[in-house]
Structure 1
Amino acid sequence: MTSHAIAHKALSKLLDAGTRRRIRTAAGDTVAASAITVVFSEAKLPEYIELDSSEELERVHAEIREAERAGALRIEWDSAAGRFGQISRIVLSNIEALASFLNVTPQWVHIERAMQLSTPWRGQPAVDAIRAAWVRNTKVRNLGPRDAERLVEACRVLDRVRQATDAAVETPVRRLSADMFGDTKHIENALVPILDELTRGDEPPVSEVEAVLPRIGLVKHPQTLLIGGRGTLVLTNGQRITLTPPYLGIAPDQLARIDGPAPDHVLTIENLTTFNEVSRGLNEFTDAMVIYTAGMPSPSLRRALRCIAKCCSNHTRFWHWGDIDEGGLRIAKIVAASIAEESMPERILRPWLMDPCRLPETVRQAPGSYRQIRRMVAMAEELGWCEVATGIREMPSMVEQEAISPRTPF
């Protein structure tokens, strides 16, 4: 154990160099078999060269010689300075002994522990990518090998969700969190980024609870399918319910199909306030259906959207209206994927009031960053919304849906 700052710095630099070598070797990198050293020069360790007190110099030497006696290193002395007058460099002999001498847990121990803890999920691409990053001592979503328990907890959560007896029904996140961790908010507070990393695929990383949890089947409370328009809802138990103004709500997993003439238009709406306003404007002559996505639609609500889309004709036009921001466009991508039908390649999701250039200046807000705008443009292009992408590029801004006076494309 060292007490002098200069001795501690020199020994820590030697340990760090040895740790980097060991980590690179474990990662399979080709590493030269050269000695691991710290040179006591003006460039590498100026504090040592600038010492002007023989007493201070002797204290530094004494502590480093103690590390040498512990078998951690070998000292090479500067012959020009006389016997034990000045150190030229120190050479690593035994990295475990050096770590023990400094009384620290070396990073490779954390890495080896992380590899051991995550072994049950080895073979899953996202887990393997995290393990590979950690072997190189690189953090993922601000988590490193020391945080391996977080990865394990997230994998256990996903296992529990996948093992649910009824995949059509979402799991209340706080009940699951209390059951697994004894804390109702642990999943929301500690695991959302790593859960996103494990499940996002090729999508950009996000950390918002509302964007991540519904995607994997976790909800604060079960979502309700709110739907306005004309037709008869047929439930899984065979019960038939006629849609009445302004809208009806059912558990999304209970919808089997919708009977009646296919609507000319289907409009999905992200926010509840706007949905209420639009649905109350429908009448018996409006040949349209309005659906509330409840923000980011959960898996069961996505299944209901697919069910509704299958009951529509190839002449039905599908529209989406949501916030003009990353979250809103991410929701639009989920909706578009939900209504897609291989047998109807002409079916597309059209944007409604989502081009900032076509909206009043008073509702446009400054974007958080240029990077955010680039991601928004990319998502609009993926949706095939070229005008929206151009509008966001030319008029970088975000718009909350509730700021726009409601109107519809029908």
Structure 2
Amino acid sequence: MIPLSSQILAKLLEREEKARAGVRSAPVALTNKDLADYRNGRVLLQAVQFEHDLTVLQQADVIAMERDRGGLICRITVRDYVALAAALGLPTRSALLDEATSVLGPFLAAHPVIGAVLARWRGLGKVRGTDVGDVLDWQSACLALTEVQLAGDVLRDVPIRALSTKLYKDSKRLERLAPLLDVLLQGDVDAEARYPDLVWQELGLIRDAQPARLAGRVTVRRLRNSGVLDSPYGAFDPESVRELVDVPSGVLTIENQANFHAAARAGADEPVLLMYTAGMPGPAWLAMYERLLGSIPVGVPIRHWGDVDEGGFRIASYLAAAAERAGHCLEPELMHPDQVPEEMRRPASAGTLARMAKYAEMVGWFAIAQRVQSAGFTMEQEAMLWRSDETMSSVAAA
């Protein structure tokens, strides 16, 4: 088959697959416009070879052809989809989907989102830029996530490239899988894409080790010494932070750096423990958080101040679970939609709002979950930096 025949028939195969996937309603056919390179007849030998290729397929009942009054082919339709793909040396999309289902099926129980990935591919859609031809990348991402989750603390704070080399004999492959790991972790093909560093942080993997930043006039016991936190804040390896020596008047976690720095300066002399989560906290940070909360009495206000968006409420769900394990209940700080000034609101899709509400419900913030969906917007925490002094006062007084 000459290149012109392959090129034109590949277009016919693509249209047939779109029709089978339900994304094309027009009749599946090639007409004069699609056959322009053949009908122009600039290269007679090529036109003759094209007709020969198509005649062979017509005789085999793979395609059907119609000719105009001048004898030129003017319309081509499909008779046997599978045979047409075979003639072109291409796998059918249904065959690729069957193979993808077989490859990813073992991971469905652990990661139900795989079902949504396969469904998106059946409709010829993509997930984070991938389609059914990228199934082995998804398999690699599932295997990597399984390895990390089974290893638990053994792989805590392991360099990304060291683990990638161990798993794939390729130091950079794991980093290329960050978008797929993000989908697996969030469990939603439509979830907002996060920066890779937030994915690594959640998995407890590191590109560069980052200290935990704490602030406030509180005394912290570490592995080798104890003392009041420096002003405006102190930075420590999370593993070295063991417990609070005195009882603070409150604990406030803060998602974003600018807000933490502003709050730390404003609250350096307040007996409130401020903790910077750096976005999604990793396992080592959460273990430190749980230890600190476990060292103070139940009843001390434990609050979180984060973005009023999908990521912010998802982070809150992780913090709430750790707080609950330590016997405490996490409460929101400036995260109710009604507390967001109108000029700082950004419209959000129904899908985003539904996911925000889901995470708010997981935390137990049911009033916020209900209001999020009716409010219809998101807001990044930095937009409320000007309220950091007010935040400090409210937590200290809680």
What TM-score do you get using the length of structure 1 for normalisation? 0.70
Aligned to 1:311: 295
| Residue number among 277, 285, 288 corresponding to 1:293 in the alignment | 277
| Larger deviation, residues 332-341 vs 397-406 | 397-406
Q: Which amino acid aligns with 1:403?
A: L
Q: CA deviation at 1:171?
A: 2.6
Q: For residues 125 and 367 of structure 2, what CA distance do their matches in structure 1 show?
A: 37
Q: CA deviation at 1:152?
A: 2.5
**Distance change in 2, residues 1:168/1:282 (3 Å):** farther
Q: For residues 351 and 65 of structure 2, what CA distance do their matches in structure 1 show?
A: 54
Q: For residues 53 and 278 of structure 1, what CA distance do their matches in structure 2 show?
A: 72
Q: CA deviation at 1:248?
A: 3.5
Aligned to 1:398: 379
* 3-state secondary structure, aligned to 2:388: coil
**Distance change in 2, residues 1:203/1:348 (3 Å):** farther
| Residue number among 229, 242, 262 corresponding to 1:244 in the alignment | 229
Equivalent positions of 1:136-155 (< 5 A) are 139-155=126-142
Aligned to 2:315: 331
Tell whether the 8 Å contact from 1:72 to 1:92 is kept in structure 2 after alignment.
yes
* 3-state secondary structure, aligned to 2:357: helix
Q: For residues 307 and 378 of structure 1, what CA distance do their matches in structure 2 show?
A: 29
Residue 225 (1) aligns with residue 212 (2): yes
Deviations 1:41-85 (A, max 9, x none): xxx85769999999999887644222245x46375999xx9xx99
**Distance change in 2, residues 1:15/1:400 (3 Å):** closer
Tell whether the 8 Å contact from 1:74 to 1:93 is kept in structure 2 after alignment.
yes
Tell whether the 8 Å contact from 1:195 to 1:212 is kept in structure 2 after alignment.
yes
**Distance change in 2, residues 1:148/1:315 (3 Å):** same
Tell whether the 8 Å contact from 2:12 to 2:77 is kept in structure 1 after alignment.
no
| Residue number among 341, 344, 353 corresponding to 1:365 in the alignment | 344
Q: For residues 123 and 256 of structure 1, what CA distance do their matches in structure 2 show?
A: 37
**Distance change in 2, residues 1:403/1:263 (3 Å):** closer
Tell whether the 8 Å contact from 2:248 to 2:273 is kept in structure 1 after alignment.
yes
Tell whether the 8 Å contact from 1:161 to 1:171 is kept in structure 2 after alignment.
no
Structure number with bigger Rg: 1
* 3-state secondary structure, aligned to 1:233: strand
| Residue number among 49, 56, 59 corresponding to 1:66 in the alignment | 56
Q: CA deviation at 1:340?
A: 1.7
**Distance change in 2, residues 1:92/1:339 (3 Å):** same
**Distance change in 2, residues 1:316/1:133 (3 Å):** same
Equivalent positions of 1:268-279 (< 5 A) are 268-279=253-264
Equivalent positions of 1:182-261 (< 5 A) are 186-188=173-175, 190-201=176-187, 205-209=191-195, 210-228=197-215, 229-233=217-221, 235=223, 239-246=224-231, 247-260=233-246
Q: For residues 350 and 375 of structure 1, what CA distance do their matches in structure 2 show?
A: 20
Residue 352 (1) aligns with residue 333 (2): yes
Aligned to 2:305: 321
Q: CA deviation at 1:304?
A: 1.6
Equivalent positions of 1:41-120 (< 5 A) are 45=31, 62-68=52-58, 71=60, 73=62, 92=79, 95-96=82-83, 98-111=84-97, 113-115=99-101, 117-118=103-104
Aligned to 1:30: none
Q: Which amino acid aligns with 1:214?
A: Q
**Distance change in 2, residues 1:324/1:86 (3 Å):** closer
Deviations 1:11-31 (A, max 9, x none): 86468648987x99xxxxxxx
Q: Which amino acid aligns with 1:348?
A: C
Aligned to 1:171: 158
Q: CA deviation at 1:301?
A: 1.0
Identity %: 22
Q: For residues 120 and 340 of structure 2, what CA distance do their matches in structure 1 show?
A: 44
* 3-state secondary structure, aligned to 2:213: strand
* 3-state secondary structure, aligned to 1:176: helix
Q: Give unpaired runs (5+ residues) of structure 1.
A: 25-37
Tell whether the 8 Å contact from 2:148 to 2:155 is kept in structure 1 after alignment.
no
What TM-score do you get using the length of structure 2 for normalisation? 0.71
Superposition RMSD on alpha carbons, in Å?
4.7
Q: For residues 105 and 152 of structure 1, what CA distance do their matches in structure 2 show?
A: 20
Q: Give unpaired runs (5+ residues) of structure 2.
A: none
Equivalent positions of 1:15-34 (< 5 A) are 17=16
Q: For residues 60 and 222 of structure 1, what CA distance do their matches in structure 2 show?
A: 62
Tell whether the 8 Å contact from 2:340 to 2:379 is kept in structure 1 after alignment.
no
**Distance change in 2, residues 1:75/1:324 (3 Å):** closer
Q: Which amino acid aligns with 2:282?
A: S
Q: For residues 243 and 203 of structure 1, what CA distance do their matches in structure 2 show?
A: 45
Q: CA deviation at 1:388?
A: 8.7
**Distance change in 2, residues 1:202/1:317 (3 Å):** farther
Please identify which structure carries the higher helix content: 2
| Residue number among 231, 248, 251 corresponding to 1:263 in the alignment | 248
Deviations 1:158-197 (A, max 9, x none): 2442354744722322443466567765544x32221122
**Distance change in 2, residues 1:180/1:249 (3 Å):** same
Q: CA deviation at 1:268?
A: 0.9
Q: Which amino acid aligns with 2:57?
A: A
